[in-house]
Amino acid sequence: MNGATATADYDDAGLLARLRSNDEAAFDELVDLATPRLLSLARKMMPSEADAEDAVQDAFLNAFKNLPGFDGRSKLTTWLHQITVNACLMKLRSRRRRPETSIDSLLPEYLPDGHQKKPQKRWHEIAEGGIEKAEMCELVRSRISELPEQYRVVLVLRDVEGLDTEETAAVLEVTLDTVRTRLHRARQALKALLDPYFAGDTP
Q: Which amino acid is at 120?
A: Q
Answer yes or no: is 203 within a domain: no
- Of 92, 94, 91, 64, the closest CA to residue 79 belongs to 64
- Measured between alpha carbons, how far is 142 from 61 in angstroms, rounded to an integer? 29
Choice between 128 and 105, residue whose per-residue pLDDT is larger: 105
Among 98-107, 169-178, 182-191, 194-203, the least confident range? 98-107
- Of 45, 59, 141, the closest CA to residue 95 belongs to 45
pLDDT category at 138 given cuts 50, 70, 90 is confident
**CATH code for position 120:** 1.10.10.10
- Give the pLDDT of residue 4: 38
Answer yes or no: is 153 within a domain: yes
Among 28-32, 66-70, 142-146, 183-187, the least confident range? 142-146
pLDDT category at 173 given cuts 50, 70, 90 is confident
Domain count across the chain: 2
| Structural domain containing residue 154 | 104-198
**Are residues 44 and 116 part of one domain?**
no
Report the predicted TM-score, pTM, of the whole model to 2 decimal places.
Answer: 0.65
Report the pLDDT averaged over residues 98-119.
60
**Are residues 166 and 90 part of one domain?**
no
Choice between 153 and 100, residue whose per-residue pLDDT is larger: 153
Count of beta carbons in the 10 Å neighbourhood of residue 20: 13
- Of 49, 55, 48, the closest CA to residue 85 belongs to 55
Answer yes or no: is 192 within a domain: yes
Helix axes 165-172, 176-198, angle to 10 degrees: 110
**CATH code for position 78:** 1.10.1740.10
**Are residues 76 and 124 part of one domain?**
no
**Are residues 184 and 117 part of one domain?**
yes
**Are residues 188 and 149 part of one domain?**
yes
**Are residues 72 and 34 part of one domain?**
yes
Q: Is the pLDDT of residue 57 over 50?
A: yes
- Give the pLDDT of residue 112: 62
**Are residues 130 and 51 part of one domain?**
no
